[in-house]
Amino acid sequence: MMRRLSFMWGLVCLGLLAMAAPYAQARVSFADAVKSAGPSVVNIYAARLEDAPREEPMKPGVGWAEPMKQKVARSLGSGVIVAPSGKLVTTLHVVQGADAVKVVLSDGREFSATLTAKDEKLDLAVMQLDLAAGVTLPVARFADSDALEVGDLVLAVGNPYGFGQSISLGVVSAVARSRIALNPYAQFIQTDAPLNPGSSGGALVDSTGAVVGINTAVFSKNGEAAGLGFAIPSKVVAQVVKDLTTLGRVQRPWLGLEGQGLSADVARELGLPDSDGLLLTGVVKGSPAAKAGLQVGDVLRTLGGQVVRDAAALNEQILLTPGLLDKPVSVAFWRGGRLNTGSLMLSALPPRRTNEQKLIKGYNPLTGYTLEPLGPALASELGLPLTTVGAVVVDAPTKQPLAAFQKQFVVGDVVQLVNGQPTHDAGQAQRALDTSRRAWELRFLRDGVLRTISLQ
């Protein structure tokens, strides 16, 4: 019986081999795409020095200074070479604050690299390799990310866990993905190609080996790949790199408004025909939007003839449309169930009010801290709503100079009320602090959370 079964299994195996033979010459492979894209994708190793407490007891007479030592913190990532001169693009969080960056090519060559420009809003960085004369480099070939369709095959090329260049395969799960808690300044390509720590900054390429995006983030509950990866579209990357290289910054026209996308239920409640549009939740006084007559509660329908779906789509549109700055742009918006039209003049974001910084003095909990009025530029840097008001801590003493108070505040805190009095700038804060020498109640924002402390 056993011999009979063995004989039958042998026949089955022979049959399977015979069936597979005609397909041996038609295997599916992305080797050509990898050969095209792989050489321009690099591994990045960043190192930074950080202070850490020494594991030793304090000696008598040393005082309050805690003994410190320095340790090396390391981060892994990937990057893409975009110019023969050695310019490459990566995600900013990989190299932010690094004291040294080493870049390793797929052929084993190693170079040091320097951060030359960055865009914190999109978490992108441009770096320059330190090259000797005559060095030649492979350069990535970019494709139009607008041509991507859901279901297209894509490859993620990067350096997961520092193992070296690796390839993972997936499909485009969604395009123009923006209604996620990731970044309000762009629409992302979503893919199920596995992305892991170290993949960030690497390339998302199509089946021909052309770069269609820069991998930037994953959604995961435990830090592992969960089939939800996100990439910044190549068209956005190309524009940001161009602006950073030529201007040293990303040129974003300023609208001076804030809003949120519409759900079907909200659109129905407002009596709108569909959910396209941006429901305005804030309009900055004196901004282009305010000068155009837009108000909180309006639904911005179109800008320059293009339908506005949400905040990320609007930000991406004004970034990618050339010639919008200082020129009238048509707008259409819903108000009270009626579609209105008009125009607005986009302008550059007003600069920070650094000339109004002031060092707080006297006997109070903020003595020794420097405050600056919170304007749109600083709010944008801190990731706060543009309509937020207050005085921002922009410099803090290493130790509270008055022994009666502990150090309570950090750089980035937004002081909004002192003893019930609004503090829109350092002068108002100083006057409110000077009203008492015994007790103070301060209300401030930290990391988007409103806090209140009472000090005596």
Residue 22: predicted pLDDT: 54
More confident residue, 375 or 20: 375
The arithmetic mean of pLDDT across residues 222-232, rounded, is: 73
138 pLDDT higher than 90: yes
Instruction: Give whichever of 6-10, 53-57, 337-341 has the largest mean pLDDT.
Output: 337-341
* Cα-based distances in Å from 260 to 52, 178, 188: 42, 11, 17
| Contact partners, residue 316, CB within 8 Å, separation at least 6 | 185, 186, 187, 236
CATH of 36-54+67-129, one of 3.40.1190.20, 2.50.20.10, 1.10.357.10, 2.40.10.10: 2.40.10.10
Backbone dihedral region of 5: left (phi > 0), alpha (psi from -120 to 50 degrees) or beta? Answer: alpha
Q: Report the pLDDT value the prediction gives residue 85, as an integer from 0 to 100.
A: 93
Query: Cβ-count burial of 56 within 10 angstroms (0-12 exposed, 13-18 middle, 19+ buried)?
Result: exposed
* Mean pLDDT on 138-163: 91
Both tokens of residue 241? Answer: 């790199």
Handedness of CA 223, 228, 234, 240 (dihedral sign): negative
Percent of the chain with pLDDT over 90: 48
Please say if the pLDDT value at position 312 is more than 70.
yes
Inter-helix orientation angle 234-246/311-320, to 10°? 50
Mean pLDDT of all residues in 334-359? 90
pLDDT digits (tens, 9 = 90+) for 77-113: 999 999 999 999 999 999 998 899 999 999 999 999 9
Of residues 307, 315, 306, the one with CA closest to residue 259: 315
pLDDT of residue 7: 45
Q: List phi, psi (to 5°) of 178.
A: -135, -25
Q: Look at residue 306 and tell me whether its pLDDT is greater than 50.
A: yes
Non-local CB neighbours of 306 within 8 Å, separated by 6+ positions: 317
Residue 73 pairs with which residues in a beta bridge? 48
Question: Phi and psi of 256, rounded to 5°?
Answer: 80, 35
Q: Where in the chain is the domain with CATH 2.40.10.10?
A: 36-54+67-129, 145-246
Q: Which of 19-33, 55-69, 119-133, 166-180 has the lowest mean pLDDT?
A: 55-69
Task: Return the pLDDT at 11.
Answer: 47
Q: Residue 404's pLDDT is what? A: 66
What pLDDT sits at residue 18?
A: 53
Residue 30, Cβ neighbours under 10 Å: how many?
19
What would the pLDDT profile of 418-437 be if each residue is shown by its tens digit?
Answer: 999 999 999 999 999 999 88
User: pLDDT grade, residue 174 (50/70/90)?
Assistant: confident
Position 162 scores a pLDDT of: 80
Mean local confidence (pLDDT), 394-422: 86
Looking at the chain, the whole-number percentage of residues with pLDDT higher than 70 is 85
Beta bridge partners of 174: 190
Q: What is the pLDDT of residue 61?
A: 42
The domain 256-348 belongs to what CATH superfamily? PDZ domain (2.30.42.10)
Q: What is the CATH number of domain 354-455?
A: 2.30.42.60
Confidence band (pLDDT; 50, 70, 90) for 293?
very high
Lowest mean pLDDT among 164-178, 216-230, 270-284: 216-230
145-246 CATH pick, 3.40.50.300, 2.60.120.860, 3.90.45.10, 2.40.10.10: 2.40.10.10
SS3 sequence of 106-139: CCCCEEEEEEEEEECCCCEEEEEECCCCCCCCCC
- Asked whether the predicted pLDDT for residue 153 surpasses 80, the reply is yes
Q: How far apart are CA 205 and CA 190, in angstroms?
A: 13
Does residue 54 register a pLDDT over 80? no
pTM: 0.74
**pLDDT at site 166:** 87
In the chain, which segments carry CATH 2.30.42.10? 256-348
**Banded pLDDT at 164 (limits 50, 70, 90):** confident
Q: Give one word for 346, left, alpha or beta, with left for phi > 0 and alpha for psi -120 to 50.
A: beta
Highest mean pLDDT among 47-51, 59-63, 164-168, 169-173: 169-173
The pLDDT, as a whole number, for residue 408 is 85
- Give the amino acid at 283: V
Instruction: Give the number of other Cβ atoms within 10 Å of residue 114's Cβ.
Output: 12
pLDDT at 1 over 50: no
- What are the catalytic residues? 93, 123, 200
